[in-house]
Amino acid sequence: MKHFICSLLIVFFFSCNNDEKNETKDYRVENDQEILDYLKANSLEAQKSDSGLYYIIDTAGSGEKPTSSSSVTVAYKGYFTNGSVFDQSDANGVTFGLNQVIKGWTEGIQYFNEGGEGVLLVPSHLGYGSSNYRSIPGGSVLIFDIKLLEIN
């Protein structure tokens, strides 16, 4: 009987241990601190939404605001808090539906009027989560300098 209980505990321990490796990590606390440190180091002030997205509106723009289902054209540069660029459009921007992008963009672009410019600081739960995505490591804070060129 003792041997059976020990075997059961060993199996339980290893199966619990394996489950932990397969769980996705929640980086919200670390990401929030990383964003706050970045803002402080760069003397920036940002607004924080209820979802945890930080945004800075540099130029308000004079056009309409998009909705979560709008098609928009945005010129952007995406980089990490260390300044390393992972993606960038040309000055003509890229056209896409706001319902086809990461949650941070779907929410964040809606804060800008057409012609507006600013910065989105996207925690990983509003980006690519805890999984690696192309050249973006899981759990990464993503920063985007954006210009909302047009609502199509």
- Global confidence as pTM: 0.85
Identify whether the C-beta of residue 109 lies closer than 8 Å to the C-beta of residue 40: no
Q: Which residues contact 51 (CB under 8 A, 6 or more apart)?
A: 103, 107, 126
Give CA separation, 96 vs 24, 44, 107, in Å. Answer: 28, 29, 14
Identify whether the C-beta of residue 140 lies closer than 8 Å to the C-beta of residue 83: no
What pLDDT is stored for residue 23 in this prediction? Answer: 58
The residue ranges of the chain whose pLDDT is under 50 are 2-22
What pLDDT is stored for residue 12 in this prediction? Answer: 36
Q: Measured on CA atoms in the order 122, 123, 128, 131, is the torsion positive or negative?
A: positive
What pLDDT is stored for residue 2 in this prediction? Answer: 47
For 101-119, the pLDDT digits (tens) are 999 999 999 999 999 999 9
Sketch out the chain's domains with CATH numbers.
Answer: 27-151 (3.10.50.40)
| Helices within 42-125 (DSSP H only) | 103-108
What pLDDT is stored for residue 24 in this prediction? Answer: 84
Q: Which residues contact 38 (CB under 8 A, 6 or more apart)?
A: 44, 81, 121, 141, 143
Q: Measured on CA atoms in the order 89, 94, 99, 100, is the torsion positive or negative?
A: negative
Identify whether the C-beta of residue 56 lies closer than 8 Å to the C-beta of residue 44: yes
Nearest-angstrom CA–CA distance, 107 and 99: 10
**3-class DSSP assignment, residue 49:** coil
